Structure 1
Amino acid sequence: MYQTITKIARTFFSNAQIYKYGFNWSPMYRRTTAKVTEVSNDLLYVKIKIPLSYKNKNFVGTIFGGSLFSATDPLYMIQLINILGKDYVVWDKAATIKYKKPARSTVYCEFIFKNDEIKNIKSVVAEHGEFNLIKNTNITDKNGVVISELSKTIYVANKSFYKEKLKLRRNK
């Protein structure tokens, strides 16, 4: 459903606008209380904010850790799907979050890819068919104090390699 809506939206909006408003209007993302606040035109940079509110406040009055995790969970994968395009398969494979300090106010997180990193991903996938990318980022308060450290493992494969891999798996 989301891919169909995205295809239609591309006739009227830029990829950055679709990414930003698609997340912010999506029911599952809205429940996290986070908002995508910035998206670069090339989608290499995304910034979110997670405000402390009655919807995500835990028993001790700070942002519930699950809200921090779910607000950050889909961003790298969807970002990379849009950057790499239809010839690649991209899946979240693993994620960890280390809570460093309680989130007592609005917090922020940036998701950044560099052009060299994208070239490297394409190069490794071209050579090996697939690649496990590890991305790390921090959730910080307005002063840059680290609240949580996030690590994501993202699986990237050439679409034809992935289809062949699935076929082999089914035949076992």
Structure 2
Amino acid sequence: MTTLRRLSARTLRRALNLWPPFLFAGIHVVAIADDWRHARVELRMRPWNRNYVGSHFGGSLFAMTDPFWMLLVMNAIGDDHIVWDRAAAIDFEKPGRGTVVAEFNLDDAVLEELRAATADGDKVLRWFDTAIRDADHDLVARVRKQLYLRRKRAR
């Protein structure tokens, strides 16, 4: 992961769009902000990512959100922190059809909260919520991701 952390947001976006799990699932990373505070991801309907009833496969809905909170926090908080995905949950609200979108917005206040909570070397577990919406802005699914953070120990 050290190599990926040195990539610019633009280069990482391009790499993720060519990454086979995203490419073949119809997942398209539209934007990652240069300051790592925002990302926008689309899941486009394709014959190979439809489920039995013609809506988006649930695994693809989850996959479109999977790495983004970790990537944003990891790059925004800095190299002196360890950041890992720890847990996740998804609630399906309605069938997703067509193109669906997930947006990730990382506030400076959240980053300051995380820095303060980890300043003494303590671990922090923090939940982040993401809404997946269709073209009508209707809620398709809610995804919760829990991140583990800890300040790196001095060597």
**Structures share fold, TM-score greater than 0.5:** yes
Please state how far the C-alpha of 1:160 moved relative to its aligned partner: 1.1
CA distance, structure 1, for counterparts of residue 139 and residue 14 of structure 2: 27
Provide closer, same or farther for how the CA distance between residues 5 and 46 of structure 1 changes in structure 2, counting only shifts above 3 A.
Answer: closer
Q: 1:29 to 1:108 in 2, by over 3 A?
A: same
CA apart distance, 1:70? 1.3
Q: Decide which of 108, 114, 131 is 1:138's aligned counterpart.
A: 131
Shift of 1:116: 1.0
1:125-170 deviations in Å (ceiling 9; x for gaps) = 1035211111011000122100001111100111218x9xxxxxxx
SS in 1 for 2:64: helix
Which segment is superposed worse, 73-82 or 42-51? 73-82
- Partners of 2:72 and 2:26 in 1: how far apart? 19
What is the percentage of aligned positions where both structures have the same residue? 28
Q: What is the CA deviation profile of residues 79-108 of structure 1, one whole-angstrom value per residue up to 9, with x for unaligned ones?
A: 211112221111111000000000111100
Greater RCO, 1 or 2 (C-alpha within 8 Å, sep 6+): 2
Kindly state the Cα deviation for residue 5 of structure 1 after the two structures are TM-superposed: 5.9
* 3-state secondary structure, aligned to 1:55: helix
- Point out 4+ residue stretches in structure 1 off by more than 4 angstroms: none
2:15 aligned residue = 22
CA distance in 2, matches of 1:6, 1:95: 23
Q: Distance in 1 between matches of 2:38 and 2:3?
A: 24
Give the TM-score taking structure 1 as reference length. 0.83
Distance 2:78 2:19 in 1: 21
> Which aligned pairs between 1:62-81 and structure 2 lie closer than 5 A?
62-81=55-74
Count how many residue pairs are aligned between Structure 1 and Structure 2. Answer: 155
Give TM-score, length-normalised by structure 2: 0.91
Whether 1:4 and 2:9 are equivalent positions in the alignment is no
Is contact 1:6-1:18 (8 Å) kept?
no
What is the match of residue 170 of structure 1? none
Unaligned stretches of 5+ residues in structure 2? none
TM alignment of 1:41-60, pairs within 5 A: 41-60=34-53
Is the partner of 1:160 in helix, strand or coil?
A: coil
Question: Residue type of the partner of 2:42?
Answer: K
- Cα RMSD (Å) of the superposition? 1.8
Whether 1:108 aligns to 2:107 is: no
**C-alpha deviations, 1:37-94, integer Å up to 9, x for none?**
0222211000000011012011111110011011211111122111122211111110
1:160 lines up with 2:143 in the alignment: no
Output the amino acid matched with 2:148.
Y
| Unaligned runs of at least 5 residues, structure 1 | 164-172
Following superposition, the deviation at residue 6 of structure 1 comes to: 5.7
User: What is the identity, as a one-letter code, of the residue corresponding to 1:4?
Assistant: T
Return the letter of the residue paired with 1:149.
R
**Residue aligning to 1:169:** none
Opposite residue 25 of structure 2, the aligned amino acid is T
Contact 1:33 1:71 in 2 (8 A): no
